[in-house]
Structure 1
Amino acid sequence: MAEQPSSELFFNDACSDCGYRQVRLPEPLPVVGDDFDWLVRDYDGFRLFMLEELAARFPERRRWTPADMEVVIVETLSVVLDQLSDMLDRVQAEAFLETAQRPDSVRRLLAMIGYDAVSQAAAEAKIPDADGAAGEGEAARRIRLRAFHLSLQRYLSDYQDVVDELTPAQQSGLQAFIDNPLSATAAALDAVQQFLDNAPDFVQRARNETLHSFWTLYPHEMEKARTLGPRSIYMQKRMVTEDDYAERLEDHPLVLRAHAYNSWTGSWNTVYAAVVISENMMLDSPLTVAAVGGADSFQLLQASVDQFNRRYELDDVDWAAEPTPRVILRPYLDAYRMAAQEVFLQDAQFIGINITLSVRVAENYFQSEIRHDINFSLSTELGGFFAPGRLAFGEDVHAGDIIETIMSLDGVDAVCLNRFKRVGRRYPNQADSGRIRLEGLEIATCNNDAQQPALGILRVILHGGQRG
């Protein structure tokens, strides 16, 4: 170890009071030569370099054969150095998202930039979920808990401290579930749920293992996450501007269209957000099976909302209480709006359109068939011209679009638009101008329901074709 140099005091012969200190520094160390090629990475490079070094150190030796002990040692070292070099390259590659190949490395690197790959791939990879939805039945809970069965078999011994906290009956139920999850009783399912609630590390481990297996079987899904992760950094998740409120609300499964505007209320600016809900529901109408178009549609919507809430870390929806869209949207809005920003949700203003068409049917088509196709093409059902969410807020309705929609149907030879106006006597017929102007929160609709004439009327007069 180098020692700190000491200083010496020297006096001038002419004056005994005048002196100076002098420090003698050690001589600098000689430069150590470096003739190693740091670009050598493989077996051939290491072997050639060491053989050249031997030849340089022992110039009197002219002949080297593979049977020489020195050559055998050099080749053995070259193999080990090649393995270490490959390991170094792999470790270096796993440190960067662009070059990482292991699913767990890609997942951790994505988590460093705020992209939760496990939650994003929950549906495709069938990631197990420890938290059941509100009002979950026993059959649905059994299917959900069965996703943890393989992880329980593999890693339960690592969480013995959590198992010890369970009662003997719960431990027996947990073991019964591991032995046969198909015939496990309700008490055994309760024991599994209790274990999962007390072991969040196990739950996260099981979810990560499921994603690892999914990416191993489908590498293209890992590549897709590798691409989407950096893009998510530039995605605005908070609601700051008016456009943010509209765009983020449209991310919700319930919302088909959204529009936001700012208004001065005397003391501060208030944001008003208008939304179009599935099936054109109102914000304060209960979400029931009949309201969303059947049991299948309701289950699909329920699953989409539950998955959305888990992804955004929101509380589960109590579906048994028949919540309204406002009750479901409000927690999401409060969680991601700006602090102290007042926001009100509003319904869209549906404007009924009164349409009368005269249609000439081709000779080889039945009028009833053409009438059915016209009613569907201008209906509010999925694929119809007035389907919920298809038209934007304040979007004008053009007669040319109506005629183009009808003329695209097979069996229609000609179309004449006789009446094209907003519902109500005070609104003039716009069949000549070909344009119904809308503004603000107004959205055109045509339900063609005799019990709700204010939401649009469609009358079709057919000529030609075959009767029936």
Structure 2
Amino acid sequence: APEFVIEATDSAHYARFGDGSAGRRPTDGTAMTARIRHGGGRRGNIGINAIAHVVTDDGGAILNIRNPLAGSGGRDREPAAAIRVAAPRHFRKQRRAVTPADYVAAAETHPQVQRAYGERRWTGSWNTIFLAIDRRGGASVDESFEGALRDHLASYRLAGHDLEIVPPRFVPLDIRLFVCVCGDHYAGDVERDLLDIFSAGLMRDGRPGFFHPDNFSFGDNILLSPIIARAMQVAGVQWIGTRDGAGAVKGRFGRLDQPEIDFADDAEIPIAPNEVARLDNDPTFPDFGRIAFLMAGGR
């Protein structure tokens, strides 16, 4: 390989080449040219119109010289002793991925990744890291994103590990709540406001809805109490729950993939570490979660 290393001291720079075994050795008599860009440190931070002359062997074509902008950004060279003191901080940064947790941490440095979940599986001939990605805004894990994330993780990946990037395992929610409407409000208006607040998109005022994809990620259990508390802030809601005024069960608080289990008494829907709760409430895609309000009372 034709790589080489530049080693710097306070007085000089040296180029270190290979020995023919570890790195290519330069051919005897090879002519080399070094092009070095070197600043003057803080002395280069000059003011406007501070340059008036140029030193050259042929200045006949130069009529005038000036600098209309001030120089800025120049810094004095850092002493080698200061570099040796500060260098260990650089090596404390995690720059390799060995365990699934390492892959998760590296993936979450990507700007489009909200959360990640990883696990190692033996796939017959080697270990494979399965990395589930929860993208910001609920975006899909498509081919272009997968390629970009693979490039992002290339410098971290351990040799001998295969990497599979997959979408999350979504858990569609199934929620029905009984709402008692105040006598001075229309039930239809209250239901409209509730559906707006508990949407997966943006509300009418531009804020994210309660079930916006960025509000939940891997292993986030769904609690009933925050839903009740948020619904009680809606004008016209007298009270809300899974039972009516007589105590009869009218609603449901559960998962679509577990229709026989109602978690209303526990007031918490468990979500596994590799799962992400989802409630789009889209009639076109009912399998992506749904929420309904059984309205009673009102004008």
Higher strand share: 2
Task: Please list the CA deviations of residues 436-461 of structure 1 after superposition, one character each: whole Å capped at 9, or x if unmatched.
Answer: 22214211111111121111111112
Equivalent pair of 1:361/1:413 in contact (CA under 8 Å): yes
Determine helix, strand or coil for the equivalent of 1:389.
helix
Alignment of 1:9-408 (within 5 A): 104=73, 234-284=92-142, 324-381=144-201, 383-408=208-233
Larger Rg: 1
Q: 1 CA distance for matches of 2:285 and 2:166?
A: 21
Q: 1:465 to 1:334 in 2, by over 3 A?
A: same
Equivalent pair of 1:348/1:442 in contact (CA under 8 Å): yes
Determine helix, strand or coil for the equivalent of 1:430.
coil
TM value normalised by structure 2? 0.60
Q: 2 CA distance for matches of 1:231 and 1:459?
A: 54
1:416 to 2:235 alignment: no
1:434 to 2:267 alignment: yes
Determine helix, strand or coil for the equivalent of 1:448.
coil
Determine helix, strand or coil for the equivalent of 2:283.
coil
- Aligned pairs, number: 211
| 5+ residue gaps, structure 2 | 1-70, 203-207, 243-250
Higher helix share: 1
Equivalent pair of 2:116/2:134 in contact (CA under 8 Å): yes
Alignment of 1:437-456 (within 5 A): 437-456=270-289
Q: 2 CA distance for matches of 1:351 and 1:335?
A: 33
Higher RCO (CA-CA < 8 Å; seq separation 6+): 2
Equivalent pair of 1:257/1:389 in contact (CA under 8 Å): no
Q: 2 CA distance for matches of 1:233 and 1:462?
A: 61
TM value normalised by structure 1? 0.40
Equivalent pair of 2:95/2:156 in contact (CA under 8 Å): yes
How far the C-alpha of 1:394 sits from its partner, in A, is: 2.6
Q: 1 CA distance for matches of 2:151 and 2:220?
A: 29
How far the C-alpha of 1:272 sits from its partner, in A, is: 1.2
Aligned amino acid, residue 407 of structure 1: M
How far the C-alpha of 1:107 sits from its partner, in A, is: 9.4
Q: 1:425 to 1:104 in 2, by over 3 A?
A: closer
Partner of 1:223: none
Task: Please list the CA deviations of residues 286-330 of structure 1 after superposition, one character each: whole Å capped at 9, or x if unmatched.
Answer: xxxxxxxxxxxxxxxxxxxxxxxxxxxxxxxxxxxxx63213222
Aligned amino acid, residue 227 of structure 2: I
Task: Please list the CA deviations of residues 202-251 of structure 1 after superposition, one character each: whole Å capped at 9, or x if unmatched.
Answer: xxxxxxxxxxxxxxxxxxxxxxxxxxx99876443443432232222222
Equivalent pair of 1:358/1:462 in contact (CA under 8 Å): yes
Q: 2 CA distance for matches of 1:359 and 1:107?
A: 69
Equivalent pair of 1:113/1:230 in contact (CA under 8 Å): no
Equivalent pair of 2:127/2:160 in contact (CA under 8 Å): no
Equivalent pair of 2:126/2:160 in contact (CA under 8 Å): no
Determine helix, strand or coil for the equivalent of 2:155.
helix
Aligned amino acid, residue 275 of structure 1: I
Q: 2 CA distance for matches of 1:231 and 1:281?
A: 36
- Percentage of identical aligned residues: 30
How far the C-alpha of 1:352 sits from its partner, in A, is: 0.8
Q: 1 CA distance for matches of 2:108 and 2:270?
A: 24
Q: 1:447 to 1:347 in 2, by over 3 A?
A: same
How far the C-alpha of 1:368 sits from its partner, in A, is: 3.9
Q: 1:374 to 1:338 in 2, by over 3 A?
A: same
How far the C-alpha of 1:425 sits from its partner, in A, is: 6.5
Q: 1:359 to 1:426 in 2, by over 3 A?
A: closer
Aligned amino acid, residue 232 of structure 2: M
How far the C-alpha of 1:345 sits from its partner, in A, is: 0.6
Q: 1:267 to 1:435 in 2, by over 3 A?
A: same
Determine helix, strand or coil for the equivalent of 1:256.
strand
Partner of 2:4: none
